[in-house]
A = this chain, B = another copy of it.
Amino acid sequence: MKIGVFVVDDHYMVIEGIRSLLQNEKTLDWMGHATNAESCLSFLKLYEPDVILMDVNLPDKSGIDLCKEVKQLYPAIAVLGLSTFNQQAIIKNMMDNGALGYVLKNATKEELMEAIISVQKGKVYYSLEVLNSLRKPTPNQLLITRREKEVLLLIAEGLTNAEISEKLFISIPTVNTHRKSLLEKFEAKNTAMLISKATKLGSV
């Protein structure tokens, strides 16, 4: 019984690369590809692959959202996250939304095969690099509260404390408190460093 594989990625070269890597694998059945979330969902109405390789950055919606939808509609399909970035926040998000594994786009053929076979069996798979990055002592970035995240986003948009307080219906001192805990949690010296770190970690 072959493993049906489907790929969703907005870059044709990447799709072609994966197809080329996997084309001689007799245990796999290349079911096709989609370059956006919509056509992926259309495909799934007609066919049910065993494994979907899913890029986290898609033109119409994020891979994270698509992953969630796919898992709700077709729980049997194993989703394997795929991206160029090695960022805890994104990976964690992807896994929380039903992905069974995560590989980077510089993965070798062997890694990719191992990942596909693993998730098809229902086993979790992370590529080596992803594992290493997840092993790093978790900085406090993951522990941002809901409110702090709201404030962070507004700061990044360029709002001042006064504007944020108005928008969130809280007092300026409160905004300041959140601001201070954000600086602490991100180990940032000031706003610039905060936004810089937060953006790179995918929190913004």
* A interface residues (Cβ-Cβ under 8 A, vs B): 10-21, 35, 84, 104-108, 155-158, 160, 188-196, 199-200, 204
Contacts and interface: CB of A to CB of B under 8 A. Distances in A.
Contacts of A18: 13, 16-17
A108 B106 CA distance: 21
Majority SS at the chain A contact face: helix
A10 B15 CA distance: 16
23 contacts: A10-B106, A12-B17, A12-B105, A12-B106, A12-B107, A13-B106, A16-B18, A16-B21, A17-B20, A19-B20, A155-B192, A156-B192, A156-B193, A156-B196, A157-B193, A158-B190, A158-B192, A158-B193, A191-B192, A191-B195, A192-B195, A195-B195, A195-B199
B12 A15 contact: no
A104 B84 CA distance: 15
Q: Which of A15, A105, A196, A199 has the most CB of B within 10 A?
A: A196
A35 B200 CA distance: 22
A190 B160 contact: yes
A158 B20 contact: no
A102 to B, nearest CB: 14
Nearest to A193: B158
A108 B16 CA distance: 10
A104 B35 CA distance: 14
B12 A158 contact: no
A203 to B, nearest CB: 11
